[in-house]
Structure 1
Amino acid sequence: MSELLMLSPEQMRGIEPYFPLSHGVPRVDDLSGILFVIRNGLRWRDAPAGYGPHKTIYNRFIRWNRLGVFNRILAELAARGGGSDQLMIDATHLKAHRTAASLLKRGSTPMYRAAEAD
């Protein structure tokens, strides 16, 4: 397994004002666990034990997402960013249904039928 991703103290200080206040118990760095899971495309239960219980990481993600914490952080970081010298690429992919492959067989689409008629 790869090394744990931990935010630096400077990075945490920069985004700390956007998080809800802790209720008595000092907050651990749950954000690093959340980022690790999302960055690597893992299930929450596959988060390394170094980040704490996976259920806690998941619950914090859900709670903070509902409170708009991540939206505020991203909006602030985008506003600070300034220039457009960086390019972001979406890594989303689509999965076709298994019957979609059979649509390309010869003669099954109007495009192929029109070509045969010529």
Structure 2
Amino acid sequence: MVDHGVVIRRHELTDHEWELLAPLIPRAVRGRPRAEDRQIINGMVYKIRTGISWRDLPERYGSWQTVYTRFRRYAIDGVFTRALRQIQTRADAAGDIDWLVQIDSTIVRAHHAAATGRKGGSAGDEPDDHALGRSRGGLTTKIHLAADGRGRPLALMLTAGQRHDSVMAQALLERIRVPRTGPGRPRSTPDHVVADKAYSSRGFRAYLRRRGIAATIPEKDDQKKHRRNRGSHGGRPRGFDRETYRRRNTVERCFNHLKGFRGIATRYDKTATSYEAAVSLASFLLWARSF
């Protein structure tokens, strides 16, 4: 039950968002009583929305060390990743997912504090480079995103900022796994994929054909020229539906919504695990708003 006497402040969970998230938060089964879950999660959300440091959390969320420690535990355990999949399951059961999927990436500047996460190597599933790389603007991380036709995140992954989009395209699509409410394997196959020229590689197109996924991806000029130069051996021009391609801006709007969270627009987290958990929590809230 939701306590409707709770005062909802700016940058905190609404009653509706908490109703969706509360059942997915792990419960303590033993030990001394812990801080109230909604208070702690609100501290996490406030931090991600505003981009402040953990130490600067307002006192109403309790000890900042408690909020940070719980966040790190949830990040390592994949709590927010599972929450994101569960809300996708709910949407899929209601027939609410548009499986015309758009994929793209965005560069995020890493704050100098995040660079300290590169020291000491990695642990567990943490990448060796902590998804931090050198670009013209300095240290950056790239968020690769697959969004449904309504602009909500279906899958995401992080790499260093200089990593090329087409290299990660296959791995990104294979992260789409929407569990069913009943028996059956999770849904992982889009009806259609829309992407820009960065994804116009022969390897990625072949991968989509093998999986039986239709695609709308424009050809690069050098690819068109090469095909023409080969004459009849170059094959037919690739089909391209301009109307469908106009929907690609949906994934751009999704990025804009995610970057409305200042803790996403600039990376302050030292580890990729923590930053991905923050993006997953923000993605969950985007889904919650759509219901």
* Alignment TM class, shorter chain as reference: 0.5 to 0.7
Alignment map for 1:49-60 (pairs within 5 Å): 49-60=59-70
Identical positions, percent: 25
Bigger radius of gyration, 1 or 2? 1
CA offsets 1:55-89 (integer angstroms, 9 cap, x no match) = 11101100111111110111223342623222311
Aligned partner of 1:25 in structure 2 is: 33
Aligned partner of 1:88 in structure 2 is: 254
Q: Which runs of 5+ in 2 are unaligned?
A: 1-8, 99-148, 152-252, 260-264, 268-291
Aligned partner of 2:46 in structure 1 is: 36
- The match for 1:65 among 75, 79, 82 is 75
- The match for 1:14 among 20, 36, 53 is 20
Residue aligned with 2:254, SS: coil
Separation in 1, partners of 2:11, 2:266: 25
More helix per residue: 1
Separation in 2, partners of 1:31, 1:93: 20
Distance of aligned partners of 1:43 and 1:93 in 2 relative to their CA distance in 1, 3 Å threshold: closer
Distance of aligned partners of 1:26 and 1:55 in 2 relative to their CA distance in 1, 3 Å threshold: closer
The amino acid that maps onto 2:63 is: P
Separation in 1, partners of 2:25, 2:83: 9
Compute the TM-score of the two structures, normalised by the length of structure 1. Answer: 0.63
Aligned-pair RMSD on alpha carbons? 2.5
- C-alpha deviation, 1:33, in angstroms: 0.7
| Number of aligned residue pairs | 92
Q: Which runs of 5+ in 1 are unaligned?
A: 95-118
- C-alpha deviation, 1:52, in angstroms: 1.3
More strand per residue: 2
- Paired residues of 1:64 and 1:70 also in contact (CA < 8 A): yes
- Paired residues of 2:55 and 2:64 also in contact (CA < 8 A): yes
